Chains A and B, each alone.
Chain A
Amino acid sequence: MPEAPQSILDEILDKTFHKLEDNKDFNSELLLELRKLASDESLQDDKFLTSILKGDLP
């Protein structure tokens, strides 16, 4: 049996990240961190997300 299909949220996030990749105004260095955050299901941790967007995390 193949892997479970993506959840609706994962599908949306995947699409979101593709859009960010194509947007030259978005800081591409943040993408990796955001993807990691999404895969840990912690994108809903707003403090962590704020820190990433501000570039405060290593």
Chain B
Amino acid sequence: MRIQELEICNFRGIKELKLEPNSRNFLISGPNGSGKSAIVDAVDFLLTGDVSRMRGPGTKDIKLKEHAPHIKADAKDCWVKATIEIPDLTEPVEIKRVMDKPKKLVCDDEYVDVLEPIQELASRGQHVLTRREILNYVTADAGTRAKQIQNLLKINEVEVTRKKLRKVLNSLKKDSQNAQSNLNNSKAHINSTVDVETFNEDVILNFVNENRQILGAEELDKLDSTTVKEGVKSPALVADDNINLELLEKDLENLQDTDFNEETGLLQSEYLELHDKLMSDTTSPKDRLQLTQLGLKLTSDTCPLCDTPWDPDQLQNHLKDKLEHLKGVESDLERMQELSGNISRAIKSKLSSLAQVIKDSSVLGLDQEVGVLKVYKDDLTTIDASLDRDEYGGESIPLLTDIEELGGKILQVAVDRYGEPSPEQTAWDKLNRLEENLKYYEENLIQHEKSKNALQNAEILHDAFIESRDHVLDSLYAEVKDRFVELYRQLHGADEADFDADLVSEGAGVDFKVKFHGEGKHPPHALHSEGHQDSMGICLYLALAERLTQGYIDLIILDDVMMSVDAPHRRQICHLLADFFKGKQFFITTHDQTWARQLQSEGVIKSKNRVELSNWTIQDGPRINYMGDIWGPIEKDLSHNDVPSAAAKLRRGSEEYFGLVCSNLQAPVKYKFSGQNDLGDLLSGAQSSYKKHLKQAKTAARSWENYEELAKLKSIEDYSKDVFGRINVERWAVNPAVHFNEWADFTPQDFKPVVDSFNSLFSLFQCDKCGTILHLVTSEGNSEAVKCNCGSVTWNLKNRKKD
């Protein structure tokens, strides 16, 4: 798809504008704030129904319908229209989008299907490169460069998806840890009821059958909460609020266990010692250990942290040495893990009994004791939670100092109220409690299984995405890399003849390395200048845009992307755009007049296909100067007897043209601080430079005894003398004619010879075949030739060396 005509009405800073690129490259120049990017936004809106610059970070309060129309314009009066050329269609297609219905692209029904893939591709934004993206890429530090390359390649949505998958994975990991912790708790409750230290289903089944036997029920061969009391008759005295003294006594014994204080005290003090040792080390050994272990996994030929190049084996050995030094830390951490596991098990068992004693004490109406026990329970729960979260800092395990007295009182009140239970009652109570414990355990087992499966699925999904991403991006990078290298070599010529690059996905980013003058491959910012990085960004983008938009959107928009690239390399970029992307239509915006002139003089932009925006006002938008071929409009002015307008165009066009000639031929021009040279200075510089190079070319031809070339140069010289002679007679007329001075009130007939003289002068500096302005070729400061782009004009300036 290419644009033949573009019409913009009441959009952003533009009131009304019509451009006619005719499917060719188009240039929009003008200072900052003159409305150039509004044209880019308009094309964006036309193709996608949105303006990408009004989306993203910092644009929260910006609304398309509210902020895209020109000031005070109604949404229905804000529109963008274009006539586009689509491959395989013989007739151009007219498309339009109006702000009041931004989702709808208005076109003939017969073209809806054909326009769909174009809109789909446009929505990915890969046909637009902005200055901000290049700037972000060039100024990115080592840590964010990979991300900026992804932004440059417009594939950041891949990274967004990866992060979401990682987030889901982490959340399910946490769920799974919680489920595991709940399962351990429920096992601890069962262990406490059965009065064992280790969870064992056979032992629990034995416990069930022993108690069922006391109650005269059949033996079970399977542990299941629904069958624990199956076929068991409850003892007559059973009531909902009954308390079994034997079980209460056992729970109280567990609470009063002095071994607990001693054992957990020892575990805690050893843990605390190791914890303090790690924490007091200001070099953060735990973090360093984890980082080094991770680093070993990620090593390639650069440091995964700072991107410094390394020999892979050397880096591996370096990290292994570091790990060796951290061996002690690793062993301390393993011991701490063991200690925390033991403390956790002891606390969970204590909590299980504590919950039962609190429940029984509530039944007995011992509110004060319940209050004390609840505080103790909360303290233990806090430590337990920190152990589960791996955040335990070796805090003391809380003790209940008067537990013996408290327990004694609870038991006494229970004995007074309920008396000694029968063996049947005790068996019934035990089965009751185990049934409750088993239900809790079974629920947690289901949750644990579910969370384990979810985690496994999330891990498989995440890993499959990463593998697929690396595969797809590596294939893409491999395809793009060769073209990138080709474009970059073309751009930098002999300077970078052996340039090469690596472009492979690495982790979440892109490992991008480029060869630096036989000194190995390094990240682009390591050794290359900002200008080289700038041109790398452009080449990388062009290579990718070409691959991703092929055959659909032949339009590539370069929005003010030229920054640090110097003049000779800019000329090479012009060649790149003109010669390597013949099937593409470039829309180029720039605030840089030199670059704008270069694009024109190097043939990337035809003279008709350029507008200059200036003097933007809030009411009327920018003033638009059509910078096309000046001769046609001048003829038109003269046919309307408007000599001042014709003279103004001739003067302005000549200043523009000879500024470029002086730049191309490296002509000496009187320096002015304002940078505004008048036409007289530029004409003198251009003429003297032309004469000097022609003379030099003649001397060179003589030295090579190339008499045919010498004759040709002499004929050019004769013709140029005639042209220079005429221009020196006529040029005085340009300035006075602009101002209607009484003594210089020209008629069109008077002014016509002036125009013809300038026309002949322009043609002297231009190739008849390719239309480009001649330029001086130098090497190491020496003038070598004067050439045009196609080579039809080549004046050799180098003399033959004398033997």
Whether B117 pairs with A3 at a CB distance below 8 angstroms is yes
Q: Is B473 an interface residue (CB 8 A)?
A: yes
Known: A8-B476, A16-B468, A53-B457. A46 touches B167 (CB 8 A): yes
Chain A residues near B113: list those with CB within 8 A. Answer: 1
Known: A44-B161, A53-B457. A4 touches B116 (CB 8 A): yes
A1-25 residues with Cβ-Cβ distance < 8 A to B are 1-5, 7-9, 11-13, 15-16, 19-20, 23, 25
Closest to B119 in A: A4
Closest to B120 in A: A4
Q: B168 touches which one: A11, A23, A50 (CB < 8 A)?
A: A50
Whether B458 pairs with A53 at a CB distance below 8 angstroms is yes
Known: A1-B86, A27-B453, A53-B461. A19 touches B467 (CB 8 A): yes
Chain B residues near A25: list those with CB within 8 A. Answer: 456, 460
Known: A4-B116, A9-B155. A46 touches B465 (CB 8 A): no
Whether A20 pairs with B458 at a CB distance below 8 angstroms is no
Chain B residues near A50: list those with CB within 8 A. Answer: 168, 171-172, 454
Whether A16 pairs with B464 at a CB distance below 8 angstroms is yes
Whether B454 pairs with A55 at a CB distance below 8 angstroms is yes
Whether B473 pairs with A15 at a CB distance below 8 angstroms is no
Whether B461 pairs with A20 at a CB distance below 8 angstroms is yes
Chain B residues near A43: list those with CB within 8 A. Answer: 161, 164
- B contact patch SS: helix
State the Cβ distance, A2 to closest chain B Cβ, in Å.
7
Chain A residues near B118: list those with CB within 8 A. Answer: 1, 4
Chain A residues near B88: list those with CB within 8 A. Answer: 1
Q: Mark B113-126, 1 if CB is under 8 A from A, else 0.
A: 11011101100100
Within the assembled complex, what's the spacing in Å between the Cα atoms of A32 and B87? 37
Within the assembled complex, what's the spacing in Å between the Cα atoms of A54 and B158? 23
Within the assembled complex, what's the spacing in Å between the Cα atoms of A51 and B120? 30
Q: Is B207 an interface residue (CB 8 A)?
A: no
B444-491 residues with Cβ-Cβ distance < 8 A to A are 450-451, 453-454, 456-458, 460-461, 464-465, 467-469, 471-473, 476
Within the assembled complex, what's the spacing in Å between the Cα atoms of A16 and B465? 5
Q: Is B257 an interface residue (CB 8 A)?
A: no
- Number of CB contacts from chain A to chain B under 8 A: 99
Known: A44-B164, A49-B164, A50-B171. A12 touches B461 (CB 8 A): no
How many positions in chain A have a CB within 8 Å of any CB in the partner chain? 30
State the Cβ distance, A29 to closest chain B Cβ, in Å.
10
Within the assembled complex, what's the spacing in Å between the Cα atoms of A48 and B450? 17
State the Cβ distance, A42 to closest chain B Cβ, in Å.
10
Closest to B468 in A: A15
Whether B451 pairs with A1 at a CB distance below 8 angstroms is no
**Looking at chain B, what size class is its interface with the partner chain?**
35 or more
Q: B471 touches which one: A2, A4, A15, A26 (CB < 8 A)?
A: A15
Closest to A34 in B: B461
Closest to A44 in B: B164
Within the assembled complex, what's the spacing in Å between the Cα atoms of A7 and B742? 68
Whether A49 pairs with B168 at a CB distance below 8 angstroms is yes
Q: Is B516 an interface residue (CB 8 A)?
A: no
Whether A54 pairs with B454 at a CB distance below 8 angstroms is yes
Within the assembled complex, what's the spacing in Å between the Cα atoms of A12 and B457? 18
Within the assembled complex, what's the spacing in Å between the Cα atoms of A30 and B458? 11
Q: Is B160 an interface residue (CB 8 A)?
A: yes
Whether B472 pairs with A11 at a CB distance below 8 angstroms is yes
Known: A9-B157, A27-B457, A34-B461. A4 touches B552 (CB 8 A): yes
Within the assembled complex, what's the spacing in Å between the Cα atoms of A2 and B117? 8
State the Cβ distance, B147 to closest chain A Cβ, in Å.
15
Within the assembled complex, what's the spacing in Å between the Cα atoms of A18 and B155? 21
Within the assembled complex, what's the spacing in Å between the Cα atoms of A53 and B86? 44
Whether B168 pairs with A53 at a CB distance below 8 angstroms is yes
Whether A55 pairs with B450 at a CB distance below 8 angstroms is yes
Q: A26 touches which one: B86, B116, B460, B552 (CB < 8 A)?
A: B460
State the Cβ distance, A11 to closest chain B Cβ, in Å.
5
Closest to A17 in B: B464
Q: A4 touches which one: B86, B117, B165, B460 (CB < 8 A)?
A: B117
Whether B168 pairs with A12 at a CB distance below 8 angstroms is no
State the Cβ distance, B393 to closest chain A Cβ, in Å.
31
Within the assembled complex, what's the spacing in Å between the Cα atoms of A45 and B175? 18
Within the assembled complex, what's the spacing in Å between the Cα atoms of A27 and B476? 30
Chain B residues near A16: list those with CB within 8 A. Answer: 461, 464-465, 468
Whether A4 pairs with B121 at a CB distance below 8 angstroms is yes
Chain A residues near B87: list those with CB within 8 A. Answer: 1
Chain A residues near B114: list those with CB within 8 A. Answer: 1
Q: A9 touches which one: B121, B158, B167 (CB < 8 A)?
A: B158
Whether B453 pairs with A12 at a CB distance below 8 angstroms is no
Chain A residues near B116: list those with CB within 8 A. Answer: 3-4
Within the assembled complex, what's the spacing in Å between the Cα atoms of A4 and B548? 10
Whether A54 pairs with B450 at a CB distance below 8 angstroms is yes
Whether B158 pairs with A8 at a CB distance below 8 angstroms is yes
Within the assembled complex, what's the spacing in Å between the Cα atoms of A5 and B473? 15
CB<8 Å pairs between A and B, sample of 21:
A1-B113, A4-B116, A4-B117, A5-B548, A5-B552, A9-B157, A9-B161, A12-B158, A12-B473, A13-B465, A15-B468, A19-B468, A20-B460, A23-B460, A25-B460, A46-B167, A49-B164, A53-B457, A54-B175, A55-B450, A55-B454
Q: What are the nearest 9 A-B pairs in CB distance?
A: A4-B117, A15-B468, A4-B120, A19-B464, A54-B454, A16-B468, A26-B460, A16-B464, A16-B465
Query: Could you tell me which A residues sit within 8 Å of B by CB distance?
Result: 1-5, 7-9, 11-13, 15-16, 19-20, 23, 25-27, 30, 34, 43-46, 49-50, 53-55
Q: Knowing that A5-B552, A15-B472 are A-B contacts, what are 8 other residue pairs whose CB atoms are under 8 Å apart, sorted by A's residue number? A: A1-B117, A4-B116, A11-B472, A15-B468, A20-B464, A46-B167, A53-B461, A54-B172
